Amino acid sequence: MKKRFLLIFSLMGFLLFSQMNNASAQCDIVISMQDSYGDGWNGASVKFYNGATLLGSATIGSGYSGTATIVAPDLTDISLVWTAGSYPEECGFTVTNGIGIDVYVCEFLQNPAPGQFFVFTNVCSSVGLDLNLIDFVIPSKVAAGDVEIKGIVRSERDTPIASFDVVYTIDGIASEVATISDLNIGFNESFEFTHPQLANIEVGEHNLELIVQNINGAGDDNFPTNNSLTAEVLCVNEIFQKNVVYEEGTGTWCGWCPRGLVGLNTMGHNYTDGTWIGIGVHNNDPMVVAEYDNGIGDFIAGYPSGVMNRTSVYDPGLSSLEPAFLAARQDIPLAKIAVTSKTWDAGTGEMVVEATTNFAMDLTGTSYNVAMVIVESGVTGTTSQWNQANYYSGGGNGDLIDWDGTNWANLPNPVPAANMVYNHVGRVLVGGWNGFSGTIPADVTYGTPYTYEFTYTLNPSFDPAEVDLVVLLIDATSGQIANACEVELEGGAILSPDFSADVINGLAPLTVNFTDETEGGAISTWSWDFDFDGIEDSNEQNPTYIYVDGGNYTVSLTVTNETGDSFTVTKEAFIHSSGVGIDELAGLNFKCYPNPAHETTTLSFILNETAEVQYSVYDLLGNMVLENNAQTLKAGDQTIKIDNATLANGIYFVNLKINDQIITNKITILK
């Protein structure tokens, strides 16, 4: 699957490569490179091979960008090989073939795996017919049920693309063949399409293939090898929220580490929905925890630097940290972990914390551990070891501004201990770096909660009002953090928000009655967001909401306990409201055939008495695309033909109005 880069910088850096022409010639391959940090690729490079023959390699020695030209033969398979440097996530690049088409585009943060990562056929002429399926648009994890199948094609020769057929397979079982027509896709133009037949995917691992064929109604094009793509898809019962953990290596002695302090503070201020969890892991200063310092030391090469979910390393500057977090948050986890109860004795410092893990599907042969990190903010000290070195002092290295407006360029170097407050400090690893093993069985079942109870006595020097508890679910096989949860030690009751609805599918306007099913303690407020736009739609416990327009709606409920702690549950694509609905019961006597239909659709129904009858056809967005004049029909079997000439391929809903009653059926048009 091709990738898209996020940013393009205009500054040119020093360029190293083995072969380059001063001007790009026909058939030459061009690679345009970027570095998000501006210090070059730090040893990373892309090599170009024709079989075993090295044609050239490219890298940026320093700066933000560079370009290399590789001389390559016509119609030969070119393989790309990636060599990773110190910070490969900072690298982005675009590879353009001999006729000016971008054949591979890599975003920042998504560098290839080391070794051969892509093979393409270089071409020197645009004459001919070629439709390239460049993307199979489907997530790697989906919820069970109907899933849209989308793809993106691109015309890579001079002959315009007027039509093509598309089919997909699930584990070798083919869908209907759909024809996408009435097109005019010119050279190097792209077109996104959706197969009209939804894919019904069951829980488990599946191999999907998407195929375009019969280009312009004439069979294969000149390069049929680029007309199909495969995807490995894991289907789960339920979509859980991904909470991202960033553990940042820092130290009071590190003059660049204020960048990390600002990064953690700003991210914690901007993202309060629980998806962001930032922890400062100190090195060689009074806040150091040796095991924590050693654990993160296996990932990072310098300070400040941090590891996200114990998978990839990122600088804590917001320009790299925030996009990395937003990308990581999109992952669909196989499990979630939550603090489901806690007790805290302020006199003795003893705490008992219950963490419960749930899985999105049945799994066998797993290995998961649980751990808890005690995190403290507002940490201060008095000796010189608590002074914070600050290389931003004086502004020579630019401004460094915290979310509250503090500019480190205006602070001294070092910042005296009396003026320093350290937040998000990792103070204790309960269960160690790897967590407690054997707490979750190897074979887990969807719907079965797995609970572990942590016990710990808090150090009396810690301020309980500033302590947070972070529970981690660790994949012991990979060492990665699968999911996490953060709560306040002295917060009120631990709430487990949940809700249901009396209807989740139907015709717009769709009236839905929601029921709060939160457990865990007293609730002081409810906040509902029925369309996930970030705006509160209701603060009632059990509200009613009307979905006026068709669409799939994500619903979020945030509940607050008596001390002001908030807990949120989000259910993605929970409500399905059609522009028109399907009344299955009434539709028993109302049939549409053939289905899928081609030139015409026949409506068949039975009238018990003379009635006024009218039909209307709606697309998936609820737009009426066809309508006839009402006519009076006598009792008995009736048929009406619809001319589909003006309808494009796709899914539609047919409303049949009989007097004041409307019944609906779904049809698919495949011409």
Look at 465 and 576; give whichever has higher pLDDT: 465
Q: Please say if the pLDDT value at position 370 is more than 60.
A: yes
Rounded to an integer, what distance in angstroms lies between the CA atom of residue 33 and that of residue 60? Answer: 7
Question: Do both 445 and 403 map to the same domain?
Answer: yes
What number of CA atoms fall less than 13 Å from residue 9's CA on the CB side? 23
pLDDT for res 12: 30
Predicted confidence at residue 585, as pLDDT, reads: 33
pLDDT for 268 equals 96
Q: Read off the pLDDT of residues 260-309 as tens digits, 9 standing for 90 and up.
A: 999 999 999 999 888 999 999 999 999 999 999 999 999 998 899 999 99
Same domain, 208 and 251: no
pLDDT beyond 60 at 1: no
* 571, 660: one domain: no
Query: Does residue 492 sit within a domain?
Result: no
- pLDDT of 267: 97
Highest mean pLDDT: which of 20-34, 114-128, 378-392, 599-613? 378-392
Residues 62 and 183 placed together within one structural domain of the fold: no
Helix-strand-coil split of the chain, %, nearest 5? 10, 45, 45
Average of per-residue pLDDT across 140-146: 85
Q: Which amino acid is at 625?
A: V
Task: Give the end-to-end CA distance of the chain in Å, rounded to a whole number.
Answer: 29
Cα–Cα distance for residue pair 34/497, rounded to 1 Å: 44
User: Any idea what the CATH number is for the domain that residue 82 is in?
Assistant: 2.60.60
Q: In 313-394, where does DSSP find H-type helix?
A: 318-329
From 130-139, 237-246, 602-611, the region with the lowest mean pLDDT: 602-611
C-alpha span between 614 and 598 (Å, rounded) = 22
What confidence score (pLDDT) does residue 463 get? 96
Could you give the CA distance from residue 308 to residue 400 in angstroms, rounded to a whole number? 22
User: Where is pLDDT greater, at 37 or 176?
Assistant: 176
Per-residue pLDDT at 445: 95
Whether 465 and 387 share a structural domain: yes
**What confidence category does residue 88 fall into, taking pLDDT thresholds of 50, 70 and 90?**
confident
Structural contact between residues 472 and 245, judged by C-beta atoms closer than 8 angstroms: yes
Whether residue 5 lies inside any domain: the answer is no
389: tokens are 């070195």
The residue count of the chain comes to 671
What would the pLDDT profile of 520-532 be if each residue is shown by its tens digit?
888 999 999 998 8
Same structural domain for residues 202 and 300? no
- How far apart are the C-alpha atoms of 553 and 560, rounded to whole Å? 23
Q: What residue ranges in 214-349 does DSSP mark as E strands?
A: 228-236, 244-250, 276-282, 305-308, 312-314, 335-344
Residue whose entry in the numeric block shows the structure tokens 């008992």: 352
- Six-digit token pair at 146? 């109907």
Selected residue with higher pLDDT from 95 and 585: 95
Residue 227 has pLDDT above 90, yes or no: yes
Residue 348 belongs to a domain: no
Domain boundary among 121, 140, 173: 121
Residue 285 sits in the same domain as residue 423? yes
Q: Domains in the chain: how many in total? A: 5
**C-alpha–C-alpha distance, residues 598 and 74, integer Å:** 43
**For residue 25, pLDDT beyond 80:** no
244: closest CA among 166, 182, 312, 179?
312
Mean pLDDT of 217-222: 93
Residue 20: pLDDT band with limits 50, 70, 90? very low
| CA dist 238 → 200, 276, 368 (Å) | 15, 21, 19
**Taking the CB of residue 89, how many other CB atoms lie within 10 A of it?**
22
| Last residue of one domain, picked from the residues 211, 236, 261 | 236
Tell me the HSE value of 73 on the side-chain side, using a 13 A CA sphere. Answer: 9
Higher pLDDT, 585 or 322: 322
Amino acid at 72: A
pLDDT at 670 over 90: no
Residue 347 lies in a domain: no
**Confidence at residue 14, expressed as pLDDT on a 0 to 100 scale:** 31
Query: Does any domain span residue 6?
Result: no
Distances (CA, A) of 42 to 60, 299, 349: 8, 17, 48
What pLDDT, on a 0 to 100 scale, did the predictor assign at position 665? 78
| Separation between Cα atoms, residue 355 and residue 452, nearest integer Å | 5
Domain ranges, residue 145: 131-236
Q: Which long-range contacts (CB under 8 A, 24 or more apart) does 500-506 make?
A: 501/555, 501/574, 501/575, 504/574, 504/575, 504/576, 505/575, 505/576, 505/577, 505/578, 505/581, 506/576, 506/577, 506/578, 506/581
346 belongs to a structural domain: no
Widest pairwise Cα distance in the chain: 97
**Considering the entire predicted model, what is its pTM?**
0.70
At residue 273, the 3 state secondary structure works out as coil
pLDDT score, position 598? 83
Q: What is the band of 516 on the pLDDT scale with cuts at 50, 70, 90?
A: very high
Same domain for 305 and 448, yes or no, is: yes
> Where residue 15 falls among pLDDT bands split at 50, 70, 90?
very low
Q: Name which of 449, 452, 454, 455 is nearest 438 in CA terms.
A: 452
Note whether 523 and 663 are same-domain residues: no
Query: Which of 21-30, 94-103, 181-190, 643-652 has the least mean pLDDT?
Result: 21-30
CB neighbours of residue 503 within 10 Å: 12
pLDDT-derived band of residue 26, with 50, 70 and 90 as boundaries? Answer: low
Distance CA 443, CA 441 (A): 5
Please indicate, yes or no, if residue 80 is contained in any of the structural domains.
yes
Query: For all residues of the chain together, what is the average pLDDT?
Result: 88
Q: Is the pLDDT of residue 582 over 70?
A: no
Chosen domain end from 207, 236, 265: 236
Q: Which has more pLDDT, 481 or 312?
A: 481
Tokens describing residue 355:
């963490």
Cα dihedral 421, 427, 433, 439 sign: negative
pLDDT reading at 209 higher than 80: yes
Q: Which two tokens stand for residue 114?
A: 């080391």
Q: Are residues 660 and 514 part of one domain?
A: no
Please tell me whether residues 305 and 332 are part of one structural domain.
yes
> Is residue 4 situated within a structural domain?
no
pLDDT of residue 486: 95
Q: What is the CATH number of the domain that holds 210?
A: 2.60.40.10
Shared-domain flag, residues 281 and 425 = yes
Distance of CA 218 to CAs 24, 221, 281, Å? 35, 8, 63
